[in-house]
Amino acid sequence: MIPFNGFGREPTSLAEAEVAAARRVIDSRWYVLGPEVAAFEEEWARACGAHSSVGVANGLDGIEICLRSLGIGPGDEVITTPMTAFATILGIMRAGATPVLADIDEATALLSPESVRRCITPRTRAVLLVHLYGQMRQMRVWNQLCNELGLQLIEDCAQAHLARSAEGPAGLVGTASSWSFYPTKNLGAVGDAGAVVSRDSAVIDKARLLRNYGQSTRYEHVEIGLNSRLDELQAAILRARLPLLAEFTKRRRVIAEHYYRGISNPRVSLLAEPETPEAHVHHLFVINCPERDVLAAYLRDAGVETLIHYPIAAHQQPALVNALMDPHGLPVAEAHASTCLSLPCHPGLTDSEVEQVIAAVNNFDAP
Ligand SMILES: *Cc1c(COP(=O)(O)O)cnc(C)c1O
């Protein structure tokens, strides 16, 4: 079986570096918010082209912390996409704000600016843009739209490590950004981890307070914070993995390029190609097929593991009843949810496996 994720296919030198990092932390007897976290925050900021970053416990917390650092909370509306990890929506709700769901563009599966305009109310404070599957697009349009309407642009970068648009790198086009280092992300820890990145030092300072009980100095609490600290072990592992991220990203781009050139089954459609190669980091390679479930079963029989991102749009989740949304509804997101399928795209795939995936997709003959 060609696996969906590349765990266990990484260079042994990387595994050894991770074990050495873990040993360093255990030997140091310092486990939470220490020198490894501080060093990772600096290294991650540099990788993003930022001055500083704040390590947090996960990407969901990062979204809550971004919003709260900008003073967005109860009574405020935040517009985002229903085609995302549910954590995007939860982060808005956890900040006390109200998510408003706009539809997506069919060609990219990203938030539609036209639909966002229909979602604006006097309570709208921000657009939470998700660089879904690793793609940054139309960043000039988003900047202009948010400037024109006086809204904050916040980026959910959980899938977009090292992506760079013509308007700037992921995480620095808007006012604040949240990152996830969940193990399956392009940069992953060996557990949960996340970060907040911003150009705005006030956001960084507030995020640093909020992640640690809202504590300014020991036992003095100036904010109602949370416990969203990053631990030393995860930070040390991330430091061991970060030096390989650029190389891994390059490999993802090569694989995606092969898929774009090779997949030619008329039953299958591909999303729009990247605006520029740098603007897409191919966290996921997603195709659409009206007979999606039959195709997934066919590929499994042909030895190709697939997943679906995402089979249920946010507004169709049982936990999210009465979600506010575009008055025109969210038909494009619903159609995407029922036809999308993610192919393996991790850097551990061999060239011949990539060709096998392409051949299997092209051989699929719909019933
Ligand atoms: C993974 C992910 C998150 C959540 O990150 P966690 O670290 O799992 O909390 C949020 N948004 C998107 C788009 C994601 O892919």
Centre of ligand 1 from the C-alpha of residue 218, in Å: 30
Round to whole Å and give the CA distance between 145 and 27: 51
Mean pLDDT of 103-131: 98
Q: Which of 60, 90, 228, 281 to mutate to test the pocket of ligand 1 (most atoms within 8 A of CB)?
A: 60
160: nearest Cα among 4, 279, 287, 286: 279
Q: Is residue 294 over pLDDT 90? A: yes
Cβ atoms of 315 and 323 within 8 Å: the answer is: yes
Q: What are the pLDDT digits (tens) for 134-147?
A: 999 999 999 999 99
Mutate to test the pocket of ligand 1, among 65, 80, 88 (most ligand atoms within 8 A of CB): 88
Looking at the chain, the whole-number percentage of residues with pLDDT higher than 90 is: 98
Confidence bin at 8 (pLDDT 50/70/90): confident
What residues are in contact with ligand 1 under a 6 Å CB criterion? 58-60, 84-85, 87-88, 130, 156, 158-159, 180, 182, 192, 194
CA 126/CA 69 separation, integer angstroms: 13
Reply yes or no on whether the pLDDT at 367 is more than 80.
Answer: no
Q: Do residues 307 and 340 lie in contact, with contact meaning Cβ atoms separated by under 8 Å?
A: no
Residue 88 Cα to ligand 1 midpoint, Å, equals: 7
> How does pLDDT run across 142-166, given as a tens digit for each residue?
999 999 999 999 999 999 999 999 9
Q: How many whole angstroms separate alpha carbon 260 and alpha carbon 246?
A: 21
Q: Using the mean position of ligand 1's atoms as its centre, give its distance from the Cα of residue 135 in Å.
A: 15
Question: Tens of pLDDT along 231-275?
Answer: 999 999 999 999 999 999 999 999 999 999 999 999 999 999 999
Atom of ligand 1 nearest to the CA of 192: 7
Q: Which one of 159, 181, 231 would you pick to mutate in the ligand 1 pocket, going by the greatest count of ligand atoms within 8 A of its CB?
A: 159
